[in-house]
Amino acid sequence: MGVSGWLESLTQYDSQKYIRLQSVTWGWVKCFLSLTVALSICCIVIIYRLHQEMDEVNSSVRTSVKGVAYKDNRIWDTAEYTIPMQAVNSFFVMTNIIKTENQLEQRCPEYPFAKAICSSDKSCEKGSVDIHSHGIQTGKCVDYNTTVKTCEVMAWCPVEPMENPPDPAVLRSSEDFTVLIKNNIHFPKFNYTILNIPQKLNTSCTYNKITSPLCPIFRLGDILQEAKENFSEMAVKGGIIAIEINWDCNLDSWSYDCHPKYGFRRLDDKRINPGFHFRYARYYKLPYGKEQRTLFKVYGIRFDVLVFGTGRKFNSIELLKNIGSMLSYFGLVATAIEFAICIGNCSGCCTSPLYQIYNRKKYETVLNPRQVMYVSYVDEPHITLIKEPLKKSLQRAQGSIVESHSVKFGDAGGCCTSEYSENDSNEESEAMHTPYNHDNEEYELGQPLRQGASSPDCPEWCCCGTCQPTQKYHEQLCCRKKKGQCITTSHWFQQLVLSSHTLNKALLYKDPFLDLTDSSINTQLRHLAYKQYIHWRFGSFDLEDRAVIPSCCRWKIRDTYPKAVNNYTGFETE
């Protein structure tokens, strides 16, 4: 499209054209499907809450663990067993411990792990450090106990024994400890804040999934039970447990619902190296100034509080936006019906005339005018389409049927025919407008009533005996397919195509002040006669200038309305 085409498009609006199928069945199918889509859209909007605006939760968590245990002649209170964690929203409860008391910085034998065991000083390298060792080797091999010798190290001595944690766990009674979780959440979009503690909280409550699901005080044993873990088993080596707080808040006043839902699961892998432990030490100064420490290797359960969730509130713009995006689903109705009709047509089960007419109306074939020609034979009831290039005479070329005569005849009611009818008998006038009579005419002409008188120079492709020889393939066309009478001898050819009376009237109809005595009038009459023939035999259609006039008819018209110099343009093939 050039600039002018683009500018022209600014002054136009293209509206879509539809084909209306008059069918009760499809009408009901359309209604049913449209209703289904409308209902589905409503359901989707409600179920997925597309009428609401969404906001992510912002939260802060505080925890406090309570409980006291008495074990190994010692009181274990909160300060003993809850060790502050570096991570945010986490708390740790000790369940097991390995204590190494009175450690001093000095020389002592290494704990007897595989690489530390020696037989003589040669096995020990001065200054070397193993990944498992507790200190730096001095190069000496000394007795660890009466049976084993190990390399001597410079370390915090005595070294920590590398053994498994006590089983059952030292503080397994921490199962009965409780934790209060305070969770404050905020939805910035809606400026809404809420706490996970209900207004009327019974301070002696304990969380239970069924009986008190909103109580924020949790018994540690219950948490592990919910996470499907055994407390006394997990207490030995420790582990990590997630406490999930899920907020799914509907903040609309008419359907307000904003409560936390608690969930619990184990985070550390049970199969590969399970557990959770770390070390810490307490330091003392001895009277003579040396530092001494007590080393603790503590096992326990780390609880990570994970808060997530969304808040929703009605928003008309959100609703419009989502419904707008779903309106395209109505297109599915049309697609589904088209598909069903297509299947009905293709499978051949629907041979009703409705589908045939529907198909004809729906699909218009666009042909390249330079590559096609239309021919009509008086003894065949249809128009034939022939594709170029021609390898032999047009008369012998294979083509495809495109249209039946009854259709084209309906279009043929031009000015000239109606004028003609005024002057002629009523009987013939009706004949022009009634397709059945037209068929009769075809029948008459289609009959080989008598053999056409073959002229001596009649070409072999001619069947009517009046065509003229020519070298051009596209001009080698007769008015008939089988031998018989020529169409030019028919009454209708005389009256519709050749009659100067008809043609003159048609010219005057177009130009009322036309001078019929003008010298160029023959040319105009000739061209009009060609046109008349095409309208008569083909009707009016898009590619009427690609309709080929048979040789016999062309010569008859030329003879009746000759040109001054005998040089005709003929059918242009391009």
Q: Which residues bind Zn ion (CB under 5 A)?
A: 462, 464, 466-467, 478-479, 486, 552
R_g of the chain computed on alpha carbons? 52
Asked if residue 216 has a cis previous peptide bond (ω within 30° of 0), the answer is no
**Using CA atoms, how far apart are residues 263 and 244, in angstroms rounded to an integer?**
5
Q: How far is the CB of 406 from Zn ion (least distance, A)?
A: 23
Our CB check for Zn ion shows the closer of 298 and 479 to be 479
What does residue 275 show for φ and ψ, rounded to 5 degrees?
110, 170
Burial 459-481 (b: 16+ CB within 10 A, else e): eebbbbbbbbebeebbbbbbbbe
Give the residue from 54, 53, 55 showing the smallest Cα distance to 317: 53
Q: How far is the CB of 452 from Zn ion (least distance, A)?
A: 7
Which positions ≥6 away from 2 have C-beta within 8 Å? Answer: none
CB of 344: closest distance to Zn ion in angstroms?
44
Nearer to Zn ion, 23 or 490 (CB): 490
Please identify, using beta-carbon distances, which residue of 137 and 393 lies nearer to Zn ion: 393
| Shortest distance (Å) from residue 415 CB to Zn ion | 27
Nearest alpha carbon to residue 166 among 256, 236, 217: 236
What beta strand segments (E) does 353-440 contain? 372-376, 382-387, 400-404
Helices (H), 139-237: 220-226, 231-237
Cα–chain center distance at 18: 26
**Between residues 113 and 443, which has the closer beta carbon with respect to Zn ion?**
443
Least distance CB 455 / Zn ion (angstroms):
10
Coarse DSSP helix, strand, coil percentages of the chain, rounded to the nearest 5 percent: 35, 25, 40
Which is closer to Zn ion, CB of 299 or CB of 493? 493
The β-bridge partners of 260 are: 247
| Exposure of 63 in the CB half-sphere (CA atoms within 13 A) | 25
> From CA 521, how far away is CA 527, in angstroms rounded?
10
- Which residue, 301 or 478, is less far from Zn ion as judged by CB? 478
Tokens of 433: 């407008």
Contact at 8 Å (CB) between 555 and 460? no
* Sole residue written with tokens 């028919």: 490
CB nearer Zn ion, residue 479 or residue 534: 479
> 191 Cβ partners below 8 Å, 6+ apart?
none
Q: How far is the CB of 558 from Zn ion (least distance, A)?
A: 14
d(CA 473, CA 396): 10
Distance (Å, whole) CA 210 – CA 227? 15
Residue number with CB closer to Zn ion (238 or 465): 465
Instruction: Choose between 408 and 554: whose C-beta lies nearer to Zn ion.
Output: 554
Closest CB 396 distance from Zn ion, rounded Å: 13
Which residue, 417 or 466, has its beta carbon nearer to Zn ion? 466
In the complex, least distance from residue 450 CB atom to Zn ion, rounded to whole angstroms: 13
CA distances from 89 to 114, 183, 220, 240 (A): 41, 10, 16, 13
Residues 508, 514 contacting (CB under 8 angstroms): yes
Closest contact distance (angstroms) between CB of 10 and Zn ion is 53
Minimum gap (Å) between residue 378 Cβ and Zn ion: 8
Least distance (Å) from Zn ion to the CB of residue 402? Answer: 22
Q: Which is nearer to Zn ion, 116 or 486 (CB)?
A: 486
